[in-house]
Amino acid sequence: MPELPEVETIRKYLNKTILRKRIVNIKVFSKKQFPNNSEEIVGAKILSVKRRAKNLIIELSNEKTLLIHLKLSGQLLWRPKTLNKTTRIVIVFDKGELVFNDLRKFGWIKILNLDQLDLELKKFGPEPFSKDFSIKYLQKVFKKSIRPVKTILLDQEKIAGIGNIYANEALSEAEISPQKPVKALTIEEIKKLRKAILLVLRQGIKYNGASAADKLYLKPDSSNGSYQQHFRIYQKNGEKCKKCNTIIERINLGGRGTFFCPKCQNMSRFRYI
């Protein structure tokens, strides 16, 4: 479910609502998703809520942190009306509760000290909104791989935070075939792609993230994001491309649904292999 814009939307909300609150209890209904001893953080206060890649980092007053990954179906809801059968963890504060729902049970919350946190986060590539995410960096990374460009966009060690929605949307915006071997991108295409990535991520944040067809993504106040209303290509197979009216196709690339306009994002005019 949540990619950079969704996690960032959640981060901003939580950084307002749980700041300086004290953890008084933790209810764990799915042990493997909260493998540590909750006693370690009962009594601690929230100092900040940060994000790295698709991870949320909650900094606590006792030199410990909570590292949270929502994977495909995780939700963090602030004082929801009810718990449900997907509720896996509840963090109880002196005032209010933060509820972790997760239909598919892939997500997790870990308690880490500061060294362990650094260790966990050092593998990620540059944040798209940092200066490290430069044309020069992309050229360096792209020329080393023959994998399809979309696969590289999803590789968190190369670029942090892009997931399947925003990879599809960025390639549509840049009019580049998802299957194109990444080392075959021209400098112009790399510039166009970088710009497209920044654009779709900014739009995603502006619209509070995307709640796609299955509505698994919710903001902490239990409302939907609205970026799905602005999708160019994601899950639009069978519909007409807005630019050229060609029917949008769906293929499987690296096990992920991949959507593209065969005319605007074509590769057939060229030979790569």
Counting contacts by CB under 5 A, is residue 261 touching Zn ion?
yes
Give the nearest distance from C-beta 261 to Zn ion in angstroms: 3
Active site includes 95? no
| Length, in residues, of the chain | 273
What is the pattern of x (binds DNA, CB under 7 A) and - over residues 68-87?
-x-xx------------xx-
Told to judge if 3 belongs to the known catalytic residues of this protein, a careful annotator would answer yes
Helices 187-206 & 4-17, crossing angle to 10 degrees?
40
Question: Measured from the CB of residue 264, what is the shortest distance to Zn ion in angstroms?
Answer: 3
Task: Tell me which long-range contacts 251-256 makes (C-beta under 8 A, separation of at least 24).
Answer: 251/178, 251/179, 253/148, 253/150, 253/151, 253/178, 253/179, 254/148, 254/150, 254/151, 254/154, 256/150, 256/154, 256/164
Stretch that binds DNA, among 58-66, 148-156, 169-177, 262-270 (CB under 7 A): 148-156
CA distance 6 to 10: 6
Binds 144: which of Zn ion, DNA, none (CB < 5-8 Å by kind): DNA
Selected from 24, 114, 135, 146, the binder of DNA by CB under 7 A is: 146
Question: Does the annotation mark 126 as catalytic?
Answer: no
The phi, psi pair for 257, rounded to 5°, reads: -60, 130
Report in angstroms how near the CB of residue 137 gets to DNA at its nearest.
15
CA distance 269 to 61: 58
- How many Å apart are CA 86 and CA 71, to the nearest integer? 14
2 as an active site residue: the answer is yes
3-class DSSP assignment, residue 57: strand
**Would you count residue 221 as binding DNA (CB under 7 A)?**
no
Bridge-based pairing state of the strands 108-113 and 64-69: antiparallel
Which stretch, 174-182, 202-210, 212-220, 246-254, contacts Zn ion (CB under 5 A)?
246-254
CA distance 268 to 247: 17
Residue 13 is a binding residue for DNA (CB under 7 A):
no
Considering CB distances under 5 to 8 angstroms, the limit depending on partner class, which of Zn ion, DNA, none binds residue 215?
DNA
From 6, 8, 51, 54, the catalytic residue: 54
Pick the closer one to DNA by CB: 49 or 162: 162
The listed partner (Zn ion, DNA, none) that binds 195, CB under 5 to 8 Å by sort, is none
Q: What share of the chain is helix, strand, coil (3-state, %, to 5)?
A: 30, 25, 45
Question: Considering the complex, what minimum distance in angstroms separates the CB of residue 52 from Zn ion?
Answer: 35
Residues that bind DNA (CB under 7 A): 1-3, 6, 32, 53-54, 69, 71-72, 85-86, 103-106, 144-147, 151, 154, 156, 163-165, 209-217, 235, 250, 252, 254-257
Residues with a known catalytic role: 2-3, 54, 256
**Residues that bind Zn ion in the complex, under the rule CB under 5 A:** 241, 243-244, 246, 261, 263-264
